[in-house]
A = this chain, B = another copy of it.
């Protein structure tokens, strides 16, 4: 098989530390399975690079990264002490901009964020059924509220007007909805293999093993809300085996807290997906365990990007205290992504997921250092 190449971009704060453990695990798996896997590290994007060069990445950054099959990103941002407005006002957006540049530059039109409350992860909800939380939020990652069109008229005056345009295309809408249905089917097939069948009800009362819930705010944001709804209704006809469901984004937030275990696949717009994935992440244990995958499933020449959703945590950086769990779940997802073309990669990905999950379950609440966790997981992998 051809070599699969990863661009590793550790980034800021705890990024390098957690990325170090991801590499340790990848190394272990490479040896074990004889994976045809290589990686290079980059000092950018990062706050340090920005300090020195006045920009978070070199001008040809995307061109350099394009040679790889995936980007594994540690963490970005050096927002300084929370709530320091000077730094807040100046730096946060700059330091995180590369995330958006990569998504856009490589047309990573899917953002996949699984949220499963695994044993050992922190449970914020009182209801015991929270243990059954197992959803996949699929966020449209290429347009919508994030097109950055708009401006400020009469800036700084009493008469100022700020506008921000949301732009949604039918093409991007169709592809993300179809992707959602495909994932619902794939998840049902996986569960079936594992003997974990879930049941959802279709509109005409039939039982299905998977479900897609479409999120909009169509009672207020009518135009794209209607387009999304119509596209969803149309495409759902091709998937009679998948139950469908609609929620308004505000009600969805409420139901994520009340009955999160009732969701399977959730499809949402860029901004609404951003909001719902943070909520889903905390309900399934918090940022310390949450992976995020920015995927381009259509163009094999474009690298996909994998990042934990946690921040760079500058307050604990460099002390070996950061928990690499989210990073390792992210690396597992990346291997599974490679697994679409190479079954050994898929196996390695599942093994890594299993080892991280087992480590989490056994060490709930234990105080361990970054390396200690990484080493324990590698031992599991080699055992």
Could you tell me which A residues sit within 8 Å of B by CB distance?
83-85, 88-89, 92-93, 96, 100, 123-127, 145-146, 148, 150-152, 154-171, 174, 203, 217-224, 226-227, 229-230, 233, 244-246, 249-251, 253-254, 257-258, 271, 274-275, 277-279, 281-283, 286-287
Contacts and interface: CB of A to CB of B under 8 A. Distances in A.
Contact of A166 (B125, B164, B281): B164
Nearest to A97: B219
B257 A164 contact: no
A254 B145 CA distance: 20
Nearest to A167: B163
Given A163-B166, A166-B166, A275-B275, 10 more contacts: A84-B203, A88-B246, A93-B218, A152-B223, A159-B169, A162-B223, A163-B165, A164-B224, A253-B275, A254-B287
16 contacts: A93-B219, A124-B125, A124-B258, A125-B125, A150-B222, A155-B227, A156-B230, A162-B168, A162-B224, A162-B227, A163-B168, A163-B223, A217-B274, A220-B271, A250-B278, A253-B275
A171 to B, nearest CB: 6
Nearest to A94: B219
A263 B92 CA distance: 22
B286 A258 contact: yes
Nearest to A157: B170
A152 B85 contact: no
Contacts of A174: 158
A253 B251 CA distance: 14
B275 A250 contact: yes
Contacts of A227: 152, 155, 160, 162
A226 B271 contact: no
A170 B163 contact: no
Given A166-B163, A166-B164, A257 B230 contact: no
Task: Among A100, A166, A275, find the residue whose CB has the most chain B CB atoms closer than 10 A.
Answer: A275
Task: Among A92, A254, A278, find the residue whose CB has the most chain B CB atoms closer than 10 A.
Answer: A254
Contacts of A93: 218-219, 222
A155 B244 CA distance: 23
A83 B161 contact: no
Contact of A271 (B161, B217, B245): B217
Contact of A124 (B92, B126, B168, B170): B126
A27 to B, nearest CB: 33
Given A170-B161, A227-B162, A282-B258, A96 B219 contact: yes
Contacts of A287: 254
A257 B124 contact: yes
A124 B159 CA distance: 44
Nearest to A152: B223
Contact of A125 (B126, B160, B162): B126
Contacts of A254: 278-279, 281-282, 286-287
Given A164-B223, A224-B164, A275-B253, A171 B152 contact: no
B163 A169 contact: no
Contacts of A279: 253-254, 257, 279
Given A126-B124, A170-B158, A220 B89 contact: no
